[in-house]
Structure 1
Amino acid sequence: MGALFNLILINPTVNALLIFLFVFHQLRIPGALGFAIIALTSSIRLLFNPLYQNQMKMAKEMELIRPELDKLSKQYKNDKQKLQQAQLKLYQDRGLNPASGCLGAIIQIPIFLALYQVLRMFLLGSSKSVVLKVNELAYLPVIKIAQLDPHFLGFNLSVSPSQYKEFGWHYLLIPLITGALQYFQVIYQQGTPVKTEIKKIDGKTGEQKPEDFQKMMAKQMKIMFPLMIGYFSYILPVGLALYWNVFSLFTIFQAKSKTWKKNKK
């Protein structure tokens, strides 16, 4: 299984990164490895953009029908079979297929895992061992590298921010920036909770917020996930934080662009 994963995903990803490296070297652009990581990450993100858009659309549609799903849960709380039938009918009436969003996420997982492992391959270990290893996987002699310069915009991509005492305090900016971008990414992905009107005991119209458990989980995600990714970006090489940040920026930009389009309308 491991050999097949390497053949189908790891090796092509290594070669894609080597091609971008070759291009930036030919253009004599400083920090070629950093720009190659950005280019490869962006390419993969754009490749899967239709699936991502479908996931976001499905998540939004599911949020819109959440009040109706809650009503069904209360109505058939003692009959799971009827609840499933009622939920299925609701999905069919709305033209929704919740499994399609999950399928898109499942398809993306091995691709992003391969990208992560390739970046670790380039960033962990000595420069000589990395050069030898990636050159063995190169499809074409022209994209093989003689050396690997890990420096990019004043940072060594193979160094972790936890080594700031040795390499400089500015490395501490990396986990702070990464955590902040992850926070905004979570905010934009969660969106605004849907509220539904109900009648209070006194007959006045009020608002019913999403279930307390869901609200609690959403709040925890806003804090815990950015802290977790921020910590990982503190103990892992800067190049991996660059990879995370590119994905975050794509998500944030897409969310903002949708907001701009709505405001124009």
Structure 2
Amino acid sequence: MGSIGDLFGWIATPLYYAISGVMLVWHKLFTGVFQIPASNGWSWVLAIIGLTITIRALLIPLFVRQIKSSRNMQLIQPKVKELQKKYGHDRQKLAEETMKLYKDTGTNPFASCLPIILQMPIFLVLFRLINHAAHGEPKGFLSQLDADHIHDAAIFGVKISATFTGSADAGPKILAAVLVVSMCATTFLTQRQLMAKNMPSDAMTGQYAQQQKMLLYVLPIVFAVSGLAFPIAAMLYWTASNLWTMCQQFYVIRNNPAPGTPAFKAKEERDRAKAMKHGQPLPADAGAVDPDVSSGSSTEQRDRRPAQRQQPKKQTRSQRKSGPNPGSRPNPQKNRGKK
């Protein structure tokens, strides 16, 4: 157990300095520019939100990889099902062919977990940072004065270092309960948004769909149980991070949805309506739309197309010697020479 604690301490020490440093930069910004008192709870709450923005901005490249991997996992589900039907009797062969499919399509099934995995140490270190400061023990770049300010910092009359289980008063319990519900709701809505709008119908069944459904219901329960022991400041960080994820995912799904999903069809309809409004040519796939939706009927659209040029029929050598083809165009130069 001591070796595990030493390992965590070795990993956590640089994170203590990194997290506390970012928090102090944001705290100095709000106290110096906006003249919020250093001991005011809102200055530390805004510093935690600034910490969230900084960390999530740094994780954007990983989020892009997560989106691409998740999309690839959805699109290759029909092929995965075919492999399961073909090699269902041979687990080793099925695993080999599945990994080969992942490699050929550039899909990493673990990439979708990277942002959460990388955020967990940050969250745990922030939890311990706030917990130590609540007991007057500074960590990282925090001074003793900063630790005292965090210890006394309060919003709505509740200390941000308070927890649901560690408080006997009603105020901390109510605020902690509200934040626990917010954590669970944002986690649920983010996963629900992904499944309802950006998953093809083929991916809604099978093992991958079962995993997504499990995350949909299991993660909120995990946060609901564990959140009761988290300080209010740590739950503020996680709720703000969930809101960032939900908004970021909404933007990606709306503007770059996976093919064959409800979000993709909605984007096609928006693009089509926008093109019609501005009098622009319809997209290439507009021919698959109901003619009533377009600006003109299908007959009118066919009339606008240029007439196809009729190709002359092929003739044998005897036909060419016997005379001109009735369907061919006469040659005035040849007729003039005969006269």
TM norm. shorter chain > 0.5? yes
5+ residue gaps, structure 2: 1-6, 257-266, 272-339
Number of the residue aligned with 1:28: 35
Cα distance in 1 for partners of 2:237, 2:126 equals 11
Number of the residue aligned with 2:190: 185
CA shift digits 1:114-146 (9 cap, x unpaired): 343234322x2564613xx23xx328x8x9676
1:240 aligns with 2:234: yes
Q: CA deviation at 1:161?
A: 3.7
Q: CA deviation at 1:153?
A: 5.5
Tell me: CA distance 1:169–1:79, structure 2 relative to 1, closer, same or farther (3 Å).
Answer: closer
Structure number having the greater helix percentage: 1
Larger RCO (CA within 8 A; separation ≥ 6):
1
Tell me: CA distance 1:118–1:175, structure 2 relative to 1, closer, same or farther (3 Å).
Answer: closer
Which AA in structure 2 matches 1:109?
I
CA shift digits 1:62-101 (9 cap, x unpaired): 111111111112212234454345334434543x141672
1:49 aligns with 2:44: no
Tell me: CA distance 1:166–1:146, structure 2 relative to 1, closer, same or farther (3 Å).
Answer: closer
Cα distance in 1 for partners of 2:109, 2:29 equals 40
**What SS class does the counterpart of residue 44 from structure 2 fall into?**
helix
**What SS class does the counterpart of residue 5 from structure 1 fall into?**
helix
Count residues in correspondence.
Answer: 243
Query: Which of 239, 244, 254 lines up with 1:250 in the alignment?
Result: 244
Number of the residue aligned with 1:200: none
Is contact 1:32–1:152 with CA below 8 Å preserved after alignment?
no
Number of the residue aligned with 2:49: 38
1:101 aligns with 2:111: yes
**What SS class does the counterpart of residue 129 from structure 1 fall into?**
coil
Is contact 2:52–2:237 with CA below 8 Å preserved after alignment?
yes
Stretch of structure 1 that moved more, 110-119 or 42-51? 110-119
Q: CA deviation at 1:169?
A: 6.7
Q: CA deviation at 1:50?
A: 0.8
1:221 aligns with 2:227: no
1:73 aligns with 2:84: yes
Query: Which of 94, 105, 112 lines up with 1:83 in the alignment?
Result: 94
5+ residue gaps, structure 1: 197-207
1:157 aligns with 2:165: no
**What SS class does the counterpart of residue 69 from structure 1 fall into?**
helix
Number of the residue aligned with 1:121: 129
CA shift digits 1:195-237 (9 cap, x unpaired): 34xxxxxxxxxxx9512x6555543432232132123333322
Cα distance in 1 for partners of 2:9, 2:178 equals 38
Which AA in structure 1 matches 2:111?
G
**What SS class does the counterpart of residue 149 from structure 2 fall into?**
coil
Cα distance in 2 for partners of 1:156, 1:144 equals 15
Is contact 2:127–2:231 with CA below 8 Å preserved after alignment?
no
Percent identity over paired residues: 19
Cα distance in 2 for partners of 1:120, 1:80 equals 44
Q: CA deviation at 1:259?
A: 3.6
Max radius of gyration: which structure?
2
Which AA in structure 1 matches 2:234?
L
Is contact 1:182–1:248 with CA below 8 Å preserved after alignment?
yes
Tell me: CA distance 1:217–1:61, structure 2 relative to 1, closer, same or farther (3 Å).
Answer: closer
Cα distance in 2 for partners of 1:221, 1:109 equals 14
Which AA in structure 1 matches 2:179?
I
Number of the residue aligned with 1:147: 149
TM-score computed with the length of structure 2 as normaliser: 0.61
Q: CA deviation at 1:13?
A: 1.8
